[in-house]
Amino acid sequence: MFEKIPSDEELRALVGEGLFAVWKGLRSMIEASYDMTGSWNGGGRLWLYEYKYRRGGKTLCSLYAKEKAVGFMVIFGRTERAKFESERETFSQKTREMYDGAKTYHDGKWMMFEPADESLFPDLIRLLQIKRRPNRPDKQEP
């Protein structure tokens, strides 16, 4: 268990008012569609905080915070990459560029977005849907 969970006020002071709204929006977007366990961690070398969404031992995505920045990371394995490739033209140019520029490691393609506003939210939720079907009862697809 991470020892220093930041309060909303601390996060707001760290990232700034506008990006705090992005942070809250990302969390609301994810939690509206997915029933996941969230956990706080240190953000590694580049970030101060990480908030990871997991269920059944598998990570859906992670949110990151540092001074004046918010991050959203999703990791695609081989199957998810193939699905993205089949749908790539339906994503924004920015998301396609992020995908193309993301480094592929042994465990998947690590895509880190640093959203400045909510304009990428539709693409981000679709990336999550590729990763895992929504599991909130009111968000199930037919």
Q: Could you report the per-residue pLDDT of 91-132, keeping only the tens digit for each?
A: 999 999 999 999 999 989 999 999 999 999 999 999 999 999
Could you tell me if residue 1 is inside a domain?
no
- How high is the pLDDT of residue 142? 47
Could you tell me if residue 88 is inside a domain?
yes
Q: Could you report the per-residue pLDDT of 27-60, keeping only the tens digit for each?
A: 999 999 999 999 999 999 999 999 999 998 899 9
- Residue 49 makes CB contacts below 8 A (sequence gap 6+) with 6, 11, 40, 41, 42, 43, 64, 65, 66
Give the C-alpha separation, 132 to 98, whole Å: 20
Could you tell me if residue 2 is inside a domain?
no
- Give me the domain span that covers residue 112: 8-139
Domains identified in the chain, total number: 1
> Looking at the chain, how many residues does it have?
142
